Amino acid sequence: MDNITTVFRILEKTHQPTMLELLGHYTPFQILIMTLLSSRTKDSTTIPIVKEMFKKYSYPEDFVKLEVKELEKILYRIGFFRTKAKNVKKLSEIIISRYDGIVPDTLEELISLPGIGRKTANCILSYVFNKPAIAVDIHVHRIANRLGWIDTKTAEQTEQELQRIIPKKEWINVNKLLVGHGQTICAPIKPKCRQCPIREYCNYGKMQSAEMSIRTNQLNKNNQKLITKN
């Protein structure tokens, strides 16, 4: 547990605000929509689109009135925009009819909405309602396993294991800090381990350092043999 909190404190020093932090002043409904839209889409793509869209369409009622085809035109640069357009419209209808226009604040209710999975639901619980929740995406899953905190195969297993080993007061930091680290340093392929500020706390990083040391020693031996021969 000490290593986990140490890793968070180190990552906080270089942390760049996430989309949900940058746009945290938007309404719960707007944050729900932008989080849904951001799935499998870069924040740099999502942010300008939602900013412009919310100038004209801000409430569930606005999206209910909007034709799906029109919404698709607004979202066409976002991944899976056709499916997401349909989900936004259906979601808006349900929030009006079932929740009187108010975004629900429980995991069960959130994941019952079209297009809302556990990751998005946990983001809303954490960032909007300040409830302890761990939103697991591909970055969180990958990095938590590389660090050696857990050994899991699925996002849901990762969520459960992280909840077990991380203090609740730190749960929000899991997504907030690991996502940015995954986007900039701990990439899926060719992670920048030499630049990583938490390498000494990482099983994967230590393994990479050991392999690099072995290769370096072997190279030095080969060079020494060449010098001796000459």
Whole-angstrom Cα distance, residue 130 to residue 124?
8
* Other CB atoms within 10 A of residue 103 CB: 21
Q: What is the per-residue pLDDT for 2?
A: 74
Q: Of 45, 49, 81, whose CA–CA distance to 89 is shortest?
A: 81
Q: What is the per-residue pLDDT for 150?
A: 97
Asked if the structure places residue 223 within a domain, the reply is: no
> What DSSP line would sit under 125-161, residue for residue?
IIIIT--------HHHHHHHHHHTS---SSHHHHHHH
Q: Is 175 exposed, middle or buried (0-12, 13-18, 19+ CB in 10 A)?
A: buried
What CATH number did the domain enclosing 55 receive?
A: 1.10.340.30
Range of the domain at 24: 19-128
- Map tokens 């690099």 to a residue: 212
Q: What is the per-residue pLDDT for 228?
A: 59
Within 8 A by CB and 6+ apart from 203, the residues are 146, 147, 148
Q: Give residue-wise pLDDT tens across range 125-148.
A: 999 999 999 999 999 999 999 999
Q: What is the per-residue pLDDT for 208?
A: 83
Whole-angstrom Cα distance, residue 169 to residue 32?
23
Asked if the structure places residue 167 within a domain, the reply is: no
| Mean pLDDT, range 159-171, rounded to an integer | 96
Asked if the structure places residue 192 within a domain, the reply is: no
User: Tokens in use for 198?
Assistant: 């938490």
Asked if the structure places residue 9 within a domain, the reply is: no
Asked if the structure places residue 30 within a domain, the reply is: yes
Whole-angstrom Cα distance, residue 36 to residue 73?
17
| Mean pLDDT, range 203-213, rounded to an integer | 76
- Map tokens 């907030």 to a residue: 176
Could you tell me the pTM of the whole model?
0.87
Q: How confident is the model at residue 59 (pLDDT cuts 50, 70, 90)?
A: very high
Rg (C-alpha) for the chain, rounded Å, is: 22
**Counted domains in the chain:** 1
| pLDDT > 90 fraction of the chain, expressed in percent and rounded | 86
Asked if the structure places residue 114 within a domain, the reply is: yes
Asked if the structure places residue 49 within a domain, the reply is: yes
State the average pLDDT for the chain: 92
Asked if the structure places residue 75 within a domain, the reply is: yes
Q: What is the per-residue pLDDT for 226?
A: 57
Q: What is the per-residue pLDDT for 20?
A: 94
Q: How confident is the model at residue 209 (pLDDT cuts 50, 70, 90)?
A: low
User: Tokens in use for 121?
Assistant: 């639901």
